[in-house]
Amino acid sequence: MYPDELRYTAEHEWVRSTESGSVVFGITSYAQDSLGDIVFVALPGLGEALSAGSSCGEVESTKSVSDLYAPIAGTVVARNEALDAAPETVNSDPYGAGWMVEVQPDDPSALEGLLSAADYRALVEKA
């Protein structure tokens, strides 16, 4: 449910490093399950500078609207345009086709400060 190779935030985002040095992120299976059926996703624009922990978009479901938070500081280099037409992909494949944003990090070592899969699992088990 929470892949070991990913890092996580307390705000329920997952983060994956790429071979090029950028990072891709989206929301966890816990987050998409809590939200219910996702009907709209608003993502930051290409070239936008993100600050770690700041709101950078929204995920709207049939239940509520939740902020999407930047897990690390960096510049947006790609966004998942497919979610415009098929936001429900986040529900069916949150760690794959449901990815949201790719960022070139200001400081790649910032990933080390994020939660491991075990730490994130412990966090959601308390919820």
pLDDT at 127 over 80: no
| Owning domain of residue 101 | 7-110
With respect to residue 55, please indicate whether it lies within any of the assigned structural domains: yes
Residue at 127 is within a domain? no
Q: Identify whether 120 is part of a domain.
A: no
In a domain, 1, yes or no: no
Q: Which of 6, 53, 57 is nearest to 30 (CA)?
A: 6
For residue 105, the model assigns a pLDDT of: 98
Q: For residue 117, what are its two tokens?
A: 């899969």
Write out pLDDT tens, residues 107-120: 999 999 999 999 99
Q: The domain that contains 101 carries what CATH number?
A: 2.40.50.100
Number of folded domains in the chain? 1
- Mean per-residue pLDDT of the chain: 97
pLDDT of residue 79: 98
Q: What is the pLDDT of residues 65-90, one digit of tens each?
A: 999 999 999 999 999 999 999 999 99
Domain assignment present for residue 45? The answer is: yes
Position 42 in a domain: yes
Whole-number percent of the chain with pLDDT over 70:
100
Residue 62 pLDDT level (bands cut at 50, 70, 90): very high
Residue 83 corresponds to which tokens in the numbers above? 């979610």
Q: What is the mean pLDDT of residues 17-21?
A: 95
**Is residue 2 in some structural domain?**
no
